[in-house]
Structure 1
């Protein structure tokens, strides 16, 4: 796997990539846009930070790209839609710099309250001005807009200063509000009530110019406004006007709609005496840069080793606390889907994923998407993964259904995949038992076997001597049987035998066996996904 690191990341992350035996690493951090476009087609993975724009043009040029990793929290410089269409996984480090940004926001709030910049400039100019009056945070109302991990961390620290903290977030759960111990209010109430306002929301169509002239007019006089989230959330011209009119007491801004700033009104805002202006340094602690580089490097290594990614932004994923419990089901459904897709030769109209037992209590969407990708990978020419599987299924007109039943059956947890097509219906049921995936039903046959890389599935009329004939032919071709599972519904009716083999079976051997036993169905399956995990 060829990896290009196009921007500087901490050496701790580079070391992880250098040690990965499946990785071939190139670090080229001083390239022009044209140079990057010229070589990106040679790489499977791209690591960037903020300066590189992973837009549609770059993604199109990266014809072999499978992963784009941004060593940072946001993804403003990555075209997620274009990446998803091309099946490129996009990952970032959403938690690596959380503490750094929290402390940065608190530093700005305290600097504004204590008027530290004004005092510093005063004494450096030769003055001894003890008339500069600070404002205490204790008993002040502080409004936090956006109660994600960063906003929540700011809330916790503000409460330690004795503030009355109120919050606004239309997407937060009731439990999260209870855990934070704050009062949830509307944006209008927050703006009108707060002495200090701190913004912690992503930049999107909903939040662009969230704080504009009407919102600034709602605020208390001399309010302190802090933005360590994203440039564009505050209308900078409106903020400049509010500072010049005396409405806003102080503006603490770390992020800008233009980085670096070019427009005159932004330069005037930066130069204003009551603006504390920072060049986007919220995540720029030594510790944060190490953390984000480690997080994205580990995800690239996971991808190289065909393991689930922790921080992929454009595929459904479990809560990180559930990953250990759910990882075995990802492997199980991957193998099951590979198995059943090789049994079906026709087009697919519908795929149903059914979860029964304790597993049904959790979000199973990542498992379903993983299974869908494995199913379609054998049906279409393009590469299919968890990023583009749903889009490909939609374009093919395939209906996807997910059914959950928490009531336990014969096993504590089972996963069922049902596929339907013209004149076709196939069902496979699997479970995870003693650390291994097992198949416990095929069609209407009760079976019990561990999937192996080489397997042979045969159905025929049940009569004496058939197993011997199959074994004899395989032996004549030096193919060893590792395990056998036999299923039947009645004596002398149709029987199904599933053989685990030590090696592949040539097509002429399959045809010979089918002819000798008069098979109603026979298929050799090569299950690469069933190879033992390294």
Structure 2
């Protein structure tokens, strides 16, 4: 039974979902990093919110960990490169609090437009300063979206309902998607120059850090109002303070800060500044939603192999997993075969799917090939870290699809380019379930890939099979299966033998000494 640790406070429904799905769960919150390191080794899954920091050191101690699930969208408290290298899936729930966060951004926009916090404080202090709080309408104003993904698109929809004009900067926003959203796609400088309100909805990356820098704030329209409910660090907070004090920025509302909890901050007390304590996801509905979603996602992965909302491995739905499983098994065996047989530095790996295989989600198939290929060199490789390790080694990975059928209803071909040239192997599924090799380095051959095997290239001449059988018999080795292929009579023949025992160096040497043998290698699957 898989075992999960919930290390941050989470709705009780999460633990109940794990138990209902056959996953054992412990709820242990408030642990120090040292205390967490002492217990994490016995868990297959770790469910967190924002308090737990999943560092490289925590991951090193997590010897059985398979998945980290973040109930929420932000994962800057997880060392994703270290998790990928360790083979740990990292998941989040990007949609569970989307509406809540978008509504908070709209609420802060209204609060800025009508100076609601200051007006409330003044009125409750016994004043009636009606003329002091002269606000602005949102209708007909231009809203600039920095980031037009899931949350940004919801904000755009709400803003259009308020009769605002919406312009959006997002490098990944296509013209077609912008048209569908009803927004105008612009470059960042255009947005800064035109927007009356700017709201940020982008993750914190090296590219987005301080995207509203002092230089970019200076490019904004005088009187701009800025809202950030995304991540701290997107705005140069010192430059924002200067903008507010000079009057160039008419108002700013931050729900997030570069350093949290922000119990003291230079912006506090600045005129026309509103702050909230990272409340973007803080509604009853959102807290329940993200807890339920992360529990369901983690349980799916631990019990069926389904992968949803993963940040370091292709998604694979629980419905897809059973259909893809035999193809992934075939892909992994082909990757392992070519990894064991290919020599020299690997410059490129190509995965070509034909027929029915081409209609499937290719990312898991590619990951399975790379896992099989790289496992020859490391016993810690899996589908999660294989693409990461391939990239780290400078390998080019190509993915090719051909939907038409060839000789087989479904075929996967794996080719590698080395200093010695290009070599390829191909396989199919018999009965849509049983992986079978059908081509080896250009030679047609049908073989199962399982257990201990011998790969032999020899001259196609009478008497060779008899001599090979005698040599194996004298060594006390029993042949399980025997697969032979050749390109032409009298040329080179390829043999794949499965044997009942591991193939040692003495047996390899004995076979290599037989007349006509050109190559002999021990294989293991």
Q: Could you state the TM-score of these two structures normalised by the residue count of structure 1?
A: 0.77
Task: Give 2:239's aligned residue.
Answer: 238
Answer yes or no: is 1:406 the counterpart of 2:394.
no
8 A Cα contact 2:342 2:423, kept in partner: no
Answer yes or no: is 1:80 the counterpart of 2:85.
no
Answer yes or no: is 1:47 the counterpart of 2:41.
no
8 A Cα contact 2:436 2:449, kept in partner: no
Shift, 1:123, TM fit: 4.4
SS at the partner of 1:72? coil
8 A Cα contact 1:346 1:424, kept in partner: no
2: CA distance between counterparts of 1:394 and 1:69?
Answer: 24
| CA distance 1:328–1:118, shift in 2 (3 Å) | farther
1:335-368: CA deviation from partner (whole Å, max 9, x where unpaired): 43345556x4967645632314466699845532
Task: Give 1:282's aligned residue.
Answer: 280
2: CA distance between counterparts of 1:170 and 1:320?
Answer: 28
Shift, 1:76, TM fit: 1.4
User: Unaligned 5+ residue runs, structure 1?
Assistant: 528-534
Task: Give 2:104's aligned residue.
Answer: 104
Shift, 1:302, TM fit: 4.3
2: CA distance between counterparts of 1:452 and 1:241?
Answer: 68
SS at the partner of 1:232? coil
8 A Cα contact 2:452 2:501, kept in partner: no
Answer yes or no: is 1:383 the counterpart of 2:380.
yes
1:120-144: CA deviation from partner (whole Å, max 9, x where unpaired): 4344344566655543322111111
Task: Give 1:211's aligned residue.
Answer: 212
8 A Cα contact 1:261 1:267, kept in partner: no
| CA distance 1:524–1:219, shift in 2 (3 Å) | closer
505, 527, 533: which one pairs with 2:500? 505
8 A Cα contact 1:456 1:522, kept in partner: no
Q: How many residues align?
A: 507
1: CA distance between counterparts of 2:234 and 2:342?
Answer: 52
8 A Cα contact 1:369 1:390, kept in partner: yes
Shift, 1:106, TM fit: 1.7
Shift, 1:246, TM fit: 3.2
Task: Give 1:197's aligned residue.
Answer: 198
Shift, 1:195, TM fit: 1.7
Shift, 1:159, TM fit: 1.1
Task: Give 1:124's aligned residue.
Answer: 124
8 A Cα contact 1:413 1:432, kept in partner: yes
SS at the partner of 1:197? strand
1: CA distance between counterparts of 2:215 and 2:231?
Answer: 20
2: CA distance between counterparts of 1:58 and 1:84?
Answer: 14
8 A Cα contact 2:70 2:91, kept in partner: yes
Task: Give 1:355's aligned residue.
Answer: 352
8 A Cα contact 2:425 2:442, kept in partner: no
Shift, 1:519, TM fit: 12
Shift, 1:457, TM fit: 7.2
Answer yes or no: is 1:297 the counterpart of 2:295.
yes
1: CA distance between counterparts of 2:242 and 2:419?
Answer: 67
SS at the partner of 1:402? strand
Task: Give 2:308's aligned residue.
Answer: 310
2: CA distance between counterparts of 1:10 and 1:412?
Answer: 48
8 A Cα contact 1:240 1:268, kept in partner: no
2: CA distance between counterparts of 1:267 and 1:339?
Answer: 63
Deviates more, 1:197-206 or 1:60-69: 60-69
1:372-429: CA deviation from partner (whole Å, max 9, x where unpaired): 112222432x40123432454567x684442626373334653212357798986431
| CA distance 1:438–1:302, shift in 2 (3 Å) | farther
1:416-447: CA deviation from partner (whole Å, max 9, x where unpaired): 12357798986431345764355433344445
Shift, 1:245, TM fit: 3.2
Task: Give 2:154's aligned residue.
Answer: 153
Task: Give 1:222's aligned residue.
Answer: 223
1: CA distance between counterparts of 2:8 and 2:390?
Answer: 36
| CA distance 1:109–1:489, shift in 2 (3 Å) | same
8 A Cα contact 1:353 1:417, kept in partner: yes
2: CA distance between counterparts of 1:328 and 1:44?
Answer: 24
Deviates more, 1:252-261 or 1:399-408: 399-408
Answer yes or no: is 1:174 the counterpart of 2:197.
no
Deviates more, 1:145-154 or 1:284-293: 284-293
SS at the partner of 1:267? coil
- CA-atom RMSD, angstroms? 4.5
1: CA distance between counterparts of 2:501 and 2:82?
Answer: 41
Task: Give 1:67's aligned residue.
Answer: 67
2: CA distance between counterparts of 1:18 and 1:69?
Answer: 16
Task: Give 1:187's aligned residue.
Answer: 188
Shift, 1:28, TM fit: 0.9
Shift, 1:228, TM fit: 0.6
